[in-house]
Amino acid sequence: MHRRKTYASLVVSIILAALPYGILPLMSFFGRWHFPALLPETWTFQHWGSFLHSQGAVGASFLLSLGIATCTATLASTGGLLLSRAVSYSSFRQGGLFFSLLPVTMSPVLFATILLFYFQVAGLAGTVAGVILAQMLIALPFAIIYFHSFWSVRILRLEQLSATLGSTPVHTYRYIIWPVARPFLLVCFFQTFIISWLEYGLTSVIGTGQIQTLTLKVFLYIQESNPSMAALSATLLILPPAILLFWNRRFVFKEVSL
């Protein structure tokens, strides 16, 4: 009986998790659909056609989001690895971790509103660079905290061993630390990519409405009561994380363990 319940719970969980991947693409083909009809009256490829064949707004937002998320994830993962080392091996370790946690604990919209003035003064408000910098304020602390567990005594000993064998710090990073950290870097890249990809509060405030990422587009279409375009945007929104998750499953968890 207990086993049957577990099995049923598992099946329900899988269905619920997979539901967006089925419903959202389906909804993106909806044409005319008026209340109180349960199903749409017409089906259309028009939305996907405009996305695939023209320089439409969704396509541009998709590419913009991809660029911003890739930049943020790359900078946060590599920067987080190096900064986390400095925090982990310093005498200011506890304080460093505390200050790293501070930006993550605050509401992104509130945080962005406080920072907007400084971004405007620096000429970064409403720019892609400004949005990347703003997202880094959340992604980088996450990466620092994530890599904190990586910088163990064992890694320090590996570094020291490499140095006593004649390796320069740069060579040690390239041939010892980087390969050993690779699985951690991949997971961190995935996590920070998701943070950036789905970020709404900071992006909308610091972007001042001029930087229209895909997440912002989904909300915009929902506000406009345009379910088909919202579904198309949402389908595109769940695609890259799903692909990255698939890569993670296949490669990251099979990497060398320490």
Partner 1 sequence: MELKHISKSFGAQQVLTDISLVLEEGHTLAVLGKSGCGKTTLLRIIAGLELADNGEIWLNGKNMSGVAVHKRNAVYLNQEPLLFPHMTASANIAYGLEVRGVPASDIRRQTEQMLAELGLEDQGHKRPHQLSGGQRQRVSFGRAMIIHPAVLLLDEPFGNLDPDTRKQMQELFMRLSTAHRITSLLVTHDLKEAILTGQQTAFMESGVLTMYPDTGAFLSDPRTGGQDEMAFWKKYNQS
CA gap 64, 190 in Å, rounded:
18
- Judged by CB under 8 A, does residue 162 bind partner 1? yes
DSSP code at position 146: H
Q: Which residues on adjacent β-strands are paired with residue 43?
A: 30
- Judged by CB under 8 A, does residue 154 bind partner 1? yes
**Nearest one of 156, 133, 191 to 86, comparing CA atoms:** 156
**Span from 59-67, 87-95, 111-119, 151-159 in contact with partner 1 (CB under 8 A):** 151-159
Q: Give the nearest distance from C-beta 152 to partner 1 in angstroms.
A: 12
Whichever of 95 and 169 has its CB closer to partner 1, that residue is 169
- Judged by CB under 8 A, does residue 176 bind partner 1? yes
Q: Give the nearest distance from C-beta 181 to partner 1 in angstroms.
A: 10
- Judged by CB under 8 A, does residue 164 bind partner 1? yes
Total residues at interface with partner 1 (CB under 8 A): 21
**Span from 1-9, 28-36, 98-106, 153-161 in contact with partner 1 (CB under 8 A):** 153-161
Q: Is 43 helix (H, G, I), strand (E, B) or coil?
A: strand
Contacts of 125 (CB under 8 A, 6+ apart): 116, 119, 206, 207, 208
CB 240 within 8 A of CB 193: yes
Q: Is 30 helix (H, G, I), strand (E, B) or coil?
A: strand
- Judged by CB under 8 A, does residue 132 bind partner 1? no
**Span from 25-33, 48-56, 104-112, 154-162 in contact with partner 1 (CB under 8 A):** 154-162
Residue 180 has φ and ψ, to the nearest 5°, of: -70, -35
- Judged by CB under 8 A, does residue 251 bind partner 1? no
Query: Which of 26, 63, 109, 161 forms a contact with partner 1 (CB under 8 A)?
Result: 161
Residue 122 has φ and ψ, to the nearest 5°, of: -80, -5
Which residues in this chain contact partner 1 in the complex, by CB under 8 A? 154, 157-158, 160-169, 171, 175-176, 179-180, 256-258
